[in-house]
Amino acid sequence: MAEPLRHKPTFLRRATGTRELRRQPLFTGLSWVVLLLLYAPIVILIVFSFNDNRSVVRWTEFSLRWYAAALDNGDIRHAAVISIQVAATATVISTMIATMAALATTRGGGFFGRSAAIALINQPLMIPEIVTAIATLAFFSMLRQLTGLSGLGWLILAHTVFCIPFAFMPVRARLADMSETFETAAADLYATPWQAFRHVTLPLLMPGILAGAMLAFVVSLDDVIITLLVAGPGETTLPIYILGQIRRGVTPEVNAVSTVLIVLTVAMVAMTFLLQRNRK
């Protein structure tokens, strides 16, 4: 019997082999151009938030005066409180709903319409946010007229619904990676379904829940379009406040507030990445 070929012929290697993407012509250069265009404006914004001069294009000297000015600004503090209230409440509610939905679609066994349910939960990720915002505005306007209710609850409800798919993805991914062996062992030891969930499933699922909660919090905190259309009088969040100030002209105070939002967002996303990375 002939000895098997240790190497493929040259023409087969050329036909089936794939070159590494980073070795493609101009790939490195285009990557740096894209990164520069994407992150250079953010870096400039952060740098000029420490500028002592009021100008946002001419650097004079390092100073924290604009951070102090933002901290002393009552409108900014009020907007920050509204943002945190909406984001925190929407995060808690959306994460609870997303966790229950993930358990139903992953641990609930096969049932008719499961794939449709998963697609329906993730559908807001596919629809343009402006469409979701307009539909939410029309629907909530009708409900307000029928019920006569007003207040911050409508904005919290809008953020909750929009954040559910963002919290759902990490939780379901964590459940998909979890073996049912421990849950089965708990049932064999006469644990009730609630006891098995509380002492086995929930601790193992917690990294996914925390990752989903942080992702939902960031999405709610940074949202502009839905908030702009749904928010009522006196319900100005921090991104909406920044947008209103920009219409009057960019100032270092706006740069300072934007820098704080950027740092908070990056920290939350980094924590989400670390939880997802170490979930196994």
Mean pLDDT within 20-32: 74
Query: For residue 28, what pLDDT is reported?
Result: 77
Q: Is the pLDDT of residue 4 over 70?
A: no
* pLDDT tens-digit series, residues 106-124: 876 677 777 888 888 888 8
Query: For residue 159, what pLDDT is reported?
Result: 93
On whether the CB atoms of residues 226 and 136 are closer than 8 A, the answer is yes
Q: Is the pLDDT of residue 235 over 80?
A: yes
Average pLDDT, the chain: 83
Q: Is 45 left (phi over 0), alpha (psi -120 to 50) or beta?
A: alpha
Report how far residue 264's alpha carbon sits from residue 261's, in angstroms, rounded to the nearest whole number.
Answer: 5
Residue in 273, 270, 263, 264 with CA at minimum distance from that of residue 88: 264
Mean pLDDT within 91-96: 95
* pLDDT tens-digit series, residues 253-265: 888 888 888 888 8
Banded model confidence at residue 134, pLDDT cuts 50, 70, 90: very high
Structural tokens at position 234: 């006196």
Q: Is the pLDDT of residue 33 over 80?
A: yes
Banded model confidence at residue 16, pLDDT cuts 50, 70, 90: very low
Report how far residue 100's alpha carbon sits from residue 172's, in angstroms, rounded to the nearest whole number.
Answer: 10
CB proximity list for 99: less than 8 A, separation 6 or greater = 167, 171, 205, 209, 212
Residues of the chain with CATH 1.10.3720.10: 66-277
SS3 62: strand
Residue bearing the bigger pLDDT, 244 or 251: 244
CB proximity list for 56: less than 8 A, separation 6 or greater = 48, 250, 251, 252, 255
Structural tokens at position 69: 């000015």
Query: CATH topology for 66-277?
Result: MetI-like fold (1.10.3720)
* pLDDT tens-digit series, residues 158-201: 999 999 999 999 899 888 888 888 888 888 888 888 888 888 88
